[in-house]
């Protein structure tokens, strides 16, 4: 099948594009920088640019049959308008173009945070996306985008939404690098002893799950699925595992979760003040309320529907993933 993957220069996007190639598909990618994935045809540009999007889908006259939409603005802070432009309007542009071109399968890569209300989640399925309750601009705009995509599900174009939860692996700059970097500086506290049980997804599993959603779109369309390793672990265990793999000292300071949340709220407000973020070196805020909640409440998921409907199981366990991460750091 001819498939367009957007956002293929990102950590997860690269992996998805590589999995698509490995599955024998003819893969085109759309992002601003070269994807660096062997065997794909890169189209450079933004999903917010309708003409570039139309070109990427139509290609050289042979339109793609499937779209895997990963491109998004992912961040804990930033201009709300940027989030909306990329995450909501970018998705709309892509859906419009896909419909026009007669694309039959559309996989919207979403996030469990679209349905995360800040409370503890234990063994729940993919509850409906809720922009009005989502925490932060990223989650809110991703929730809108998911609803938008699923609303376009039809007999002609099967739309599936998948929500990989906390994707990690060697080469990840979003999570792993930040954790390791901060741990090196002793700046990762555990909230309430780090006991909150959370699901994560090793990058290869996330990629194979997304490809499975494309393959099974005829059976799974119209639904959203959370994708995880299905091995919930305490957040403290995971942080320790990552740090040990990277050869840095695991976090050992515990803060009460309530304090972490309060601090997160304060920092968010400070970061919103003019110049503060810039003076801090343009870095992301060290703690947000959303992050504090993520680190102090359980969120793990019922994977039974996902595995059945997508006919998919993860192949890399957390322990194996950590071994691969350690090997990655050992190579330097």
Partner 1 sequence: MTAGAARPTTGAASLPPRDLPGLDPSWSRLVDVPGVGIDAGHARQWHCLDTADALARAGVPVTSGGLAGTILAVHGNPTWSYLWRSIAAESVRAAEAGEPAWRVVAVDQLEMGYSERTGLHRTLPQRVADLAAFTDALQLEGPVVTLGHDWGGVISLGWAIDHPEQLAAVALLNTAVHHPAGVPIPAPLRLAGARGVLAASTVATTAFLDTTLALASPALAPDVKAAFRAPYGSADRRGGIGNFVADIPVDERHESFPELERIAAGVAALGAATNSAAANSAAADPVPALMLWGPSDPVFGDRYLDDLADRLPHADIHRFEGASHLVAEDRPCAPAVLNWLKESVGRVGAEGAVSRPPTDPTFTPLWRPLESRAATPATADATAVIDMATGRGRSPRRVTWRQLDARVRDIAAGLHAMGVRKGDRVSLLVKPGPTLTAVLYACLKIGAIVVVADAGLGVKGLTRAVRGSWPDLIIGERLGLAAARALGWPGTRISAERLPKAAALALGVTRSTRDVADLGAGQPLPAEPGPADDAAILFTSGSTGPAKGVVYTHGQLSALRDVLGTHLGITADTGLVTGFAPFALLGPALGTLSATPDMDVSAPRTLTATAVAAAVTASDAGIVFLSPAAILNVVETADALTHDDRAALARVHTFLSTGAPIGEPMLRAVARLMPNATPHTPYGMTECLLVADITLAGVSDAAAAPDTGVCVGTPIGDNQVLVSALDSDGDATGTPSPEPGVLGEIVVSAPHLKSHYDRLHLTDVAATRDTPAGRVGAAGAVSRPEPQRWHRTGDIGHLDAQGRLWIEGRIQHVIVTADGPLAPVGPEQQVESADAVRRAAVVGVGPHGLRQAVAVVETTPAARRPGLADPQLTAAVRATTELPLAAVLVVPQLPTDVRHNSKIDRSRLSEWADRMLAGAKPSAP
Task: Name the residues that contact partner 1, by CB under 8 A.
Answer: 120, 122-123, 191-197, 230-234, 236-237, 240-241, 244, 250, 256-257, 296-298, 300, 302-304
- Which residues are CB-contacts of 93 (< 8 A; sequence separation ≥ 6)? 47, 48, 49, 50, 53
C-beta of 268: minimal distance to partner 1 in Å?
20
Calpha distance 191→207 (Å, rounded): 30
C-beta of 22: minimal distance to partner 1 in Å?
28
C-beta of 326: minimal distance to partner 1 in Å?
13
Active-site residue identified among 138, 202, 225, 329: 138
- How far, in Å, are 5, 86, 114, 130, 139 from residue 136 at the CA level? 26, 15, 10, 12, 6
Instruction: Compare residues 11 and 312 and give the one whose CB is closer to partner 1.
Output: 312
Instruction: Compare residues 129 and 242 and give the one whose CB is closer to partner 1.
Output: 242
Tokens of 155: 């007999």
Calpha distance 179→195 (Å, rounded): 17
- Which residues are CB-contacts of 179 (< 8 A; sequence separation ≥ 6)? 188, 239, 242, 243
- How far, in Å, are 60, 132, 164 from residue 161 at the CA level? 28, 19, 10
* Residue 62 DSSP symbol: -
> Mapping DSSP to helix (H, G, I), strand (E, B) and coil, where does residue 268 land?
helix
- 138 noted as active-site residue: yes
Instruction: Compare residues 108 and 228 and give the one whose CB is closer to partner 1.
Output: 228
Instruction: Compare residues 150 and 235 and give the one whose CB is closer to partner 1.
Output: 235
Calpha distance 202→190 (Å, rounded): 22
Instruction: Compare residues 73 and 323 and give the one whose CB is closer to partner 1.
Output: 323
DSSP 132-157: TT-SHHHHHHHHHHHHHHHHT--SSS
CA dihedral 282, 284, 143, 217 (to 10 degrees): 90
Instruction: Compare residues 253 and 273 and give the one whose CB is closer to partner 1.
Output: 253
C-beta of 258: minimal distance to partner 1 in Å?
8
- Which residues are CB-contacts of 108 (< 8 A; sequence separation ≥ 6)? 69, 91, 145, 146, 149, 150, 159, 160, 161, 162
C-beta of 220: minimal distance to partner 1 in Å?
19
Tokens of 154: 């039809």
Return the active site residues: 138
């Amino acid at each position: 099948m001819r498939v367009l993957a957007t956002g293929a220069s990102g950590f997860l996007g690269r992996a998805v594009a590589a999995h698509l190639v490995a599955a024998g598909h003819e893969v085109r990618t759309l992002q601003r920088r070269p994807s660096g994935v062997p065997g794909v045809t890169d189209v450079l540009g933004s999903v917010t640019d309708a003409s570039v999007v139309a070109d990427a889908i139509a290609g050289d006259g042979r339109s793609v049959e499937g779209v895997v939409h990963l491109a998004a603005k992912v961040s804990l802070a930033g201009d709300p308008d940027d989030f909306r432009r990329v995450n909501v309007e970018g998705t709309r542009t892509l859906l419009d173009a896909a419909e026009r071109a007669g694309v039959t399968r559309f996989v919207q890569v979403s996030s469990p945070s679209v349905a995360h209300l800040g409370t503890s989640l234990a063994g729940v399925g993919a509850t409906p996306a809720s922009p009005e309750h989502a925490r932060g601009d990223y989650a809110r705009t991703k929730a809108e985008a998911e609803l938008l995509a699923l609303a376009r599900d039809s007999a002609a174009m099967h739309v599936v939404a998948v929500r990989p939860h906390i994707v990690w692996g060697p080469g990840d700059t979003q999570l792993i690098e930040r954790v390791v970097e901060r741990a090196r500086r002793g700046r990762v506290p555990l909230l309430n002893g780090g006991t909150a049980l959370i699901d994560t997804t090793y990058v290869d599993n996330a990629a194979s799950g997304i490809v499975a959603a494309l393959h099974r779109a005829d059976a799974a369309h119209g639904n959203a699925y959370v994708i995880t390793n299905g091995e919930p672990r305490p957040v403290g265990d995971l942080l320790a595992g990552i740090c040990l793999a990277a050869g840095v000292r695991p976090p050992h300071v515990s803060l009460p979760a309530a304090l972490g949340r309060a601090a997160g709220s304060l920092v968010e407000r400070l970061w919103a003040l003019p110049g503060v973020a810039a003076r801090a070196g343009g870095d992301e805020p060290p703690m947000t309320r959303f992050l504090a909640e993520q680190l102090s409440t359980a969120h793990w998921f019922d994977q039974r529907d996902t595995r059945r409907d997508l006919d998919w199981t993860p192949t890399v366990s957390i322990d194996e993933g950590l071994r691969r991460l350690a090997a990655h750091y050992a190579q330097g």
